[in-house]
Structure 1
């Protein structure tokens, strides 16, 4: 009999299983009626307490928004006195020295904020030089702000769509950001950042809540203020729920558990929002109903036992397929492509498992065919881009010439031939490596520089500024020499002399290879043509012009993706600057 029931459950649809579950609950009307009266009464008391808390938190939220609004209004009025705008114009016109400019800006900032106790610090920076920070503060926060906060604030300010916004740091400090615009050109010339006292801005949230309720105020995923009674064992869970919940139309919603209720809400502030959870212990309500609860315990136990006997097989029938599906997904995640389910059922899970089997087969197909074809295509394309017409017989010929030069006692010619041979050998790529260490790439650079020094003599100066901690980082082979050659041909040759500077350094976790020259420079029209060339668009480049730099750009894109590559720009002091950006890989 029991076997027939299990078989019936296993082959019934989800709708049939749910129907059976509903029928089971209908068999216990006495239990339903008893608990109905109990919970209606409890709900009314609970709703009254929740309503009181919601009114209180709404009042506190409005006062906090008003306090933030006062700070916003103060920040929005700053540009209208024109002091910083005038200093900006004078700086651009060369009418202010750096020391005078610094003194006047600091005095201005101090005069504006020294009397406001809620402001801890204020800083200003020009858009053209974001790393130059003018700051006054009431504590020793300058070093931390410049090194930690300022780089983040500049990025937040850059992303702001409006003139005003907020930023809250990992330690909960609040910063007000105000963009400054030129009154004539309406272009942004700078940004003011105000560090306000968190205790002042959030002071209303520190007051005791009705009934001893607790409060957690978060920004993003971090708690910036906690007050009252908060269950330690559930603190992380509550914070996670606050982060995930979105307020309803009335401004808040509620989560109920067996030990507490949580009222969620949100305080919108320009570009950010603060989320809160007010934790109310259910003991405030349940203390009044303990006696009534005792009368129901006996009936609840009997009903619970009956429900377990029926619910266990039903639950297994529902969750066993789910568990199997999870196991199959884990196998797929570990790389067991094409894994299949052999479960045979007549309910809705059959469609799910059939869909999973089809998906697994499709993933295996994509990996075996599409991905491998794409990988082969990229490898072929990379090999084509790296290929150079450097026949082996040319290298052997250079070796013969080097031998004859040494026999004739012509050391200088022999050294030039050896340097050229080094470049030829690298171009032939006998090792088959597409990337090498930077120290190896610099050997090729030195060979090229040696040859150019022999050609130009004292008319050409090479300067290298290399971060030696990066010498073991990996770089695409023959990446720097084409850029140096471009600087010589298009920068130095037209004017007959000059200086080329090679810089390799680490910026924001990426390697920057910079080649600068003070030669003939590059026109805006040519810069636009190079931009079209890099994007694969039609351009007016003639002959071999741009082939070398485009080769470098394409190789980087193929190896590392479209966020890396080569860019060209004009130097203010004359000449051209080429910047290569690649990932830092050891």
Structure 2
């Protein structure tokens, strides 16, 4: 129904556009041309040229090319008019139409005499004429004085083709009628100009069909621009019959699709069950220790992906079992070695103690102190655990032991200064968080330095943090090694002192979190400054 209405709207719109084209053309409307050009006459505006002008104007008009618009006439007075038609040359219908339109003058000459606007629909006196005529005036633009009349003949048969979409329904009817109830065109054999109340379709009055909404689907729509109306009438039974036919086809398609889906589902489920049974069988073999078993490829991407994963998993399980077995052997061997090594520290410390006593008894206090310092350092490192905490006093004592030993080694080439406030000494810090930094400064900062070297260790509390600084005037380090969070390049050999700094930094962050840790500032040949940030830890218990 909507398609029919839209098609009719398009047809009538193209006819109206043709009227406006003629109305605005300066050659067709001589008075309009005079107003625009300010010329009284123009040699090109001759009656014999207007027909060719009309044909040029209609050349690109859709209504003309589709044979909807079949005839155009410009009527100036009772005896004067120009006309063109879409009939074949010499057609009897064309001659008859010319004669019919000539007789229309008497219908609207009174309108012209009174200066009244003309906008009307005319029906031919010949009942066999297939055209419907739309008469509209054309006038001067200055004072709207009627200059003549434009009559356009529209094919009623072509208009009726707008209703083709409803003709698949048996008993359907489409009509176009004006405000006076006259039928312009229809899908039935109804003469144009017949009143709705006088028309019948299949022995049923059209007027009754328009009012019987219980038996018909009815859609009545106003067509813009011409005071016309379209009505589409379709019997209910025809629609229901069509729906039943369509539903029968839909049901058959649904049944066929359902059967196909069931068969496909059974086929797929059978393949999946076979795959699962195969997988269970392979897993039982793996359980029995046959880790080299593989699952065959099935030609289905998802199942083949699962097969590949199964292969990798079984291989990995075999590898891990072998690795666990190997590690268990290594663990037992390590346990034996650990039992053997338990004797070594006691032997070492007892030996160092004997050497210290011997040195002291011989009056060599310096050697005795060196041995005692070394014993303390070795004991501290052997009893080290990652989460151990000690007092600042304990850590500073071992820093002093280390610096004392290095001072003995380097002599006057090394100077050091440890300045820690006394109220900081009871605070807790991670064990071995300072001594490795001091060791790093001496070994890697001062060993290769020419001239006097010094190391200073200081501490302060700022913004709730306990901050230690270890400074040296050594050779410094490459800036690329100062980022303790960066990974070593692939294949690069890690520097020993860089590993020590990184491990200490990781321990501090592991214990206290991201705000704490180690930062480094260094320049080559100008020394290094290491800053260790720790929380102010006053716990009463510590290891």
State whether TM-score is above 0.5: no
Normalised by the shorter chain, which TM-score bucket? 0.3 to 0.5
**Higher RCO (CA < 8 A, seq sep 6+):** 1
- Please give the TM-score of this superposition, normalised by the length of structure 1: 0.31
Could you say which structure has the higher helix fraction? 1
